[in-house]
A and B are shown apart, each in its own frame.
Chain A
């Protein structure tokens, strides 16, 4: 089963290369992603599974896939995101759509591999594999400044992952049984300075991917210039790779170094949260606003992770899923507006509620989730995260708390400008609503409120991860 979730998207990607007709390519991609969702649900609702064969005998590296709670929740997120993205953007017409879809499927293969790999070399392999199709997607189909900006993004993450590679070599050479398995890495004999070095090497890779201030500069540009479907993948799923890396590798492998560095990293994250929130307030472009708001949310999650507190980690685990769903919803709304009006600038928008009430209601729903109002899923996670920050240091919690107010300012400002006010010329020209996108949005909004009111399934799913991290 675990192998099939890697191979189905891979096979889909290969098949898609040969389907030249746009409509049929679309149907094939959606069909395959639905099958993947089915398989993912099966994995989520069955017991922890592993798949293990020898990969490189000389290096003693194994092709080991493991699905514990942490992996399951992210597989679920990935598997939900892809069909949602494909259906919502089905009407977009990039040139050579079959290749576009094929590259998206390759990305999904890489992502699934990252979340399942239990062997460091395999993890690195998929980590890079997820990046390369995205490079081509953004560079071929992106906005005007796509080539330079995507290249910046690529080099940034590539350098980060090379640092991680050195970290892997360092750990591998110090394991007693010369193996890349995460269990052997945990028992590697490292001096405290070696542990700190390895911690830094891994951390750089994850910090660039998340991204944490001051390594975030690639992100808003990349989000803005990428084609919308790719932006959705990037912000809903790919940034989770960084957080996943911290949860799966960084904290369990280097507990002492993580404790030492925690104050520094929490402070950096909180600075990033405030910084991104202030910038978000000044944005006029909806895409950039969502991008900065996403940086703020991820920063909060990283801060909560490094408090190394059970409650905070619980919050992050739930928020991994919730943030993906919320940001996906916001992107889809923004995409529908951009497709129909041809603009993303809030100056030119207004009066959406009068012209298209359903879309406006959906926008407001996701906006509430973005501010983490009670009853929405984000509230659960953020409440737990702030709780842990407060236990860590009340002053830090107070500083981070300001971001809630800032989030309300920029999000509600956006709602006000887009949904209310005088009906603008461009909104007036909007034609019939995009039925596909609205259907997807409604489903996502149901998930938002369901997990907001009853988050227990998310907690149950990740209970084993939490236990591994905190019960020694």
Chain B
């Protein structure tokens, strides 16, 4: 509860802060301070020090997993703003507005990690999405950004409509919005109600797939990610996506067993389609930004493994994957925003001109590809193990690793451009301080790559 209240509060503070404080640097610092307070408030609830508590009538349930996820996602947002502050200021006229929107998104995130009622899921997704539509169109004078925003808004509203329809069906079948109630049970209940319930769950599944950009509901992703200002793409592809996955996980974690056989047909279909579309299309991209958009679809395919069945591997793996993938993506986008253009050729000769920058980028890409000593390896390992433990067929694991090998192809294309192709990189001025910030992310990824267990130490007690 602390997180929801504080994030909304800071959102309002940031909205009005540009009246008094004109300096963009000061606004960024206030935001960072606000985030620290938010993290502390959330930690206070997690450890039972201090909670603003009132009866939510079972709409929200705060458990260790949700609160810990909050802490992690807020921490990631902190790193994101710490690194990208200067770039955010360059877009539009009022940076404070964007910071306010970030806080509202975090409010949506806090709802999505703690809902216990399908209505709250709907509200959380709306709180999360509406600021995103604005952020996508933040670059008002850029036509592509406007197009992306409109596209995202139309398709996003449509998918929310489907979500709502699904929730209605479930309510019609069970008479409750409560998350634990709508469990498909073929032995009891009237056939019509079962039919409604199944239909509702499928609609819910489709709408959530849209939010995490899994195929075949991924069509908005490349255009929106490409059109949005690069800094905001970085935010959308990481923290927002992770939050959507957590919500997806919470809804279907309890359902997967009850859905049984049906689930084992639908989910592998979505997984394979997502991996296929993401990886194969990414191979053919000429623009690094679009490649990263497709790679984020491909990575979503891997994160979907966590939904296959309930296990420790799934819970821990999803968290680890969200953190590692977000860190690496924030890092790669951190380099990308400093490029003058986004083609692969723009990276030629980066290793010679900026060895440190090229090296950190290599670590980010290796992590995305899942190569050992970077966090990405354990993230992929946990996901594969979760899949196996949940009883998936070996063919699915083998398909997954074949696509993982394909992903090496396009990530390493960038490494090849940086290290082995001579040329002059189309890079803007990059300060040393900025490079050290990226090195910090790279170190975090290496730590998670050698000792991923540091992440789980606070998950259970």
Which residues, 344 to 400 on B, are CB-close (under 8 Å) to A? 366, 371-373, 377, 381, 384-385, 388-389, 394, 397-398
Q: Contact residues of B with A, CB < 8 Å?
A: 312, 316, 366, 371-373, 377, 381, 384-385, 388-389, 394, 397-398, 401-402, 404-405, 408-409, 412, 416, 419-420, 451-453, 456
Contacts of B408 in A (CB 8 A): 154-155, 158
Say whether A221 faces chain B, with CB atoms less than 8 Å apart: no
A169 & B397 in contact (Cβ 8 Å cutoff): yes
Q: In the complex the two chains form, what is the Cα distance from A121 to B372 in whole Å?
A: 10
A163 on the B face (CB < 8 A): yes
Q: Which of A129-152 contact B (CB under 8 A)?
A: 129, 132, 136, 139-140, 146-147, 151
Across chains A and B, the number of contacting residue pairs, with CB separation under 8 Å, is 69
With contact pairs A125-B372, A155-B409 given, residues A136 and B397 touching in the complex (Cβ less than 8 Å): no
A166 near B373: Cβ-Cβ < 8 Å: no
Q: Would you call A172 and B385 a contact (CB within 8 A)?
A: yes
Residues of A within 8 A of B388 (CB): 166, 169-170, 173
- B385 near A163 with CB under 8 A, answer no
Q: Are A56 and B452 in contact (CB under 8 A)?
A: yes
Question: Which chain A residues (222-250) contact chain B, with CB distance < 8 Å?
Answer: none
Is B372 in contact with A169, judged by CB distance below 8 angstroms? no
- Which of B312, B372, B404, B412 has the largest number of chain A CB atoms within 10 A? B372
In the complex, are the beta carbons of A57 and B372 less than 8 A apart? no
Judge whether A165 is part of the interface by a CB distance below 8 angstroms. yes
Q: Is the interface of B mostly helix, strand, loop or mixed?
A: helix
What sequence of 0s and 1s flags, for each residue 54-92 of chain A, a beta carbon within 8 Å of any chain B beta carbon?
011111000000000000000000000000000000000
| CA–CA, A146 and B421, complex, Å | 12
Question: Which residues on B sit within 8 Å (CB–CB) of A124?
Answer: 372
User: B387 — nearest CB in chain A belongs to which residue?
Assistant: A169
One digit per residue, 1 when the CB lies within 8 angstroms of any chain B CB and 0 when it does not, for chain A 304-324 equals 000000000000000000000
A261 CB-CB contact with B under 8 Å: no
- Report the nearest A residue to B451, measured CB to CB: A56
Q: Which of A55, A58, A121, A163 has the most CB of B within 10 A?
A: A58
Q: Is A162 an interface residue (CB 8 A)?
A: yes
Within the complex, the shortest CB–CB distance from B74 to chain A, in Å, comes to 23
Q: What chain B residues lie within 8 Å of A129 (beta carbons)?
A: 372-373
* CA gap between A298 and B181 in the complex, in Å: 62
Q: In the complex where A125-B372, A139-B416, A173-B385 touch, is A166 in contact with B397 (Cβ < 8 A)?
A: yes
For A57, the closest partner residue in chain B by CB is: B453
Bound Cα distance from A166 to B401, whole angstroms: 8
Does the CB pair A140–B371 fall under 8 Å?
A: no
Query: Contact: A165 with B384, CB < 8 Å?
Result: yes
Residue in A140, A162, A169 whose beta carbon sits within 8 Å of that of B385 in the complex: A169
**Nearest Cβ in chain A — how far from B448, in angstroms?**
12
* A162/B404 in contact, CB under 8 A: yes
- Asked if B394 and A128 sit within 8 Å, CB to CB, the answer is no
Chain B neighbourhood of A136, CB < 8 A: 419
A146 to B419, CA, bound (A): 13
Interface residues of A in 242-295 (CB under 8 A from B): none
Contacts of B373 in A (CB 8 A): 125, 129
Chain B residues within 8 Å of A163, by CB: 398, 401
Per the bound structure, the CA–CA distance linking A125 and B409 in Å amounts to 20
Which of A55, A140, A146, A165 gathers the greatest number of chain B CB atoms within 10 Å? A165
Task: Say yes or no for A159: interface residue by CB 8 A criterion.
Answer: yes
- A sample of 16 inter-chain contacts (CB < 8 A) reads A56-B452, A58-B312, A58-B453, A121-B381, A129-B372, A140-B419, A140-B420, A147-B420, A154-B408, A165-B381, A165-B401, A166-B401, A169-B381, A169-B385, A170-B388, A172-B385
Residue of A with least CB distance to B370: A162
Q: How far is the CA of A125 from the CA of B371 in the complex (A)?
A: 9
Task: Report the Cα distance A346→B397, complex, angstroms.
Answer: 48
Q: Report Cα–Cα, A208/B366, bound state, in Å.
A: 22
Residue-by-residue, is A386-399 near B (CB-CB < 8 Å gives 1, otherwise 0)?
Answer: 00000000000000
Which residue of the partner chain B has the closest CB to A162?
B401
The answer to whether A155 touches B405, judged by C-beta atoms less than 8 angstroms apart, is yes
Contact A151 B416 (CB under 8 A): yes
- Contact, CB under 8 Å: B419 / A139: yes
User: How close is A94's CB to chain B, nearest CB, in angstroms?
Assistant: 14
Assembly CA distance A400 to B421 (angstroms):
45
Contacts of A170 in B (CB 8 A): 388, 394
Contact partners of A162 in chain B: CB under 8 A = 401, 404-405
Instruction: State the 3 A-B residue pairs at the shortest beta-carbon distance, nearest first.
Output: A162-B401, A128-B372, A159-B405
Indicate if the CB atoms of B412 and A151 lie closer than 8 Å: yes
A197 beta carbon closer than 8 Å to chain B:
yes
Residues of A within 8 A of B371 (CB): 128, 132
Q: How far is the CB of A18 from chain B (nearest CB, A)?
A: 13
- Nearest residue (CB) in B for A121 is B381
How far is B245's CA from A55's CA once the two chains are assembled, in angstroms? Answer: 29
**Cβ of B398 and Cβ of A166 under 8 Å apart?**
yes
**Of B404, B419, B453, which one neighbours A56 at CB under 8 angstroms?**
B453
User: Nearest-CB distance from B318 to chain A (Å)?
Assistant: 14
Mark out the residues of chain A between 106 and 133 whose CB falls within 8 Å of any chain B CB in the assembled complex: 121, 124-125, 128-129, 132
| Residues of A close to B412: CB separation below 8 A | 151, 154
Smallest CB separation, A127 vs chain B (Å): 8
Contacts of B456 in A (CB 8 A): 58
Name the A residues within 8 Å of B452 (CB-CB).
Answer: 56
Known contacts A151-B412, A166-B384, A166-B401, then 13 further A-B pairs from the complex at CB < 8 Å, ordered by chain A residue: A56-B451, A56-B453, A58-B456, A124-B372, A136-B419, A140-B419, A155-B405, A158-B405, A162-B401, A163-B398, A166-B398, A170-B394, A173-B389
Q: What residues on A are CB-neighbors of B312 within 8 Å? A: 58
Q: How far is the CA of A170 from the CA of B419 in the complex (A)?
A: 37
The answer, among A147, A159, A197, for a CB contact under 8 Å with B416, is A147
Q: Could you say which of A124, A146, A162, A173 has the most chain B C-beta atoms within 10 Å of its C-beta?
A: A162
Inter-chain contacts of B397 with A (CB < 8 A): 166, 169
Q: Provide the bound-state CA to CA distance between A158 and B408, in Å.
A: 9
List chain B residues, Cβ under 8 A from A154: 408, 412
Residue of A nearest to B413 (CB): A151
A57 vs B371: C-alpha distance in the bound complex, in angstroms?
Answer: 21
Q: Least Cβ distance of A86 to chain B in Å? A: 23
Bound Cα distance A173, B386 (Å): 10
**Alpha-carbon distance A304/B366, docked complex (angstroms):** 38
Interchain CA distance A139-B362 in the complex, whole Å: 14
Shortest Cβ distance from A156 into B: residue: B405
Residue of A nearest to B380 (CB): A165
Tell me how far the C-beta of A316 lies from the nearest C-beta in chain B, rounded to whole angstroms. Answer: 28
- Give complex CA distance A155, B456 in Å: 32
Complex Cα–Cα for A155 and B388 (A): 24
Complex CA distance for A139 and B372, rounded to whole angstroms = 19
Report which of A58, A165, A197 forms a contact with B394, defined as CB distance below 8 A. Answer: A197
Tell me the smallest distance from the CB of B434 to a CB of chain A, in Å: 22
Nearest to A56 among chain B residues (CB) is B453
Give every chain A residue within 8 A of B389 (Cβ-Cβ). Answer: 173
Give the docked Cα–Cα distance between A154 and B412 (Å): 10
B419 near A159 with CB under 8 A, answer: no
Give the nearest-CB partner of B401 in chain A: A162
Q: Which residues of A contact B416 (CB under 8 A)?
A: 139, 147, 151
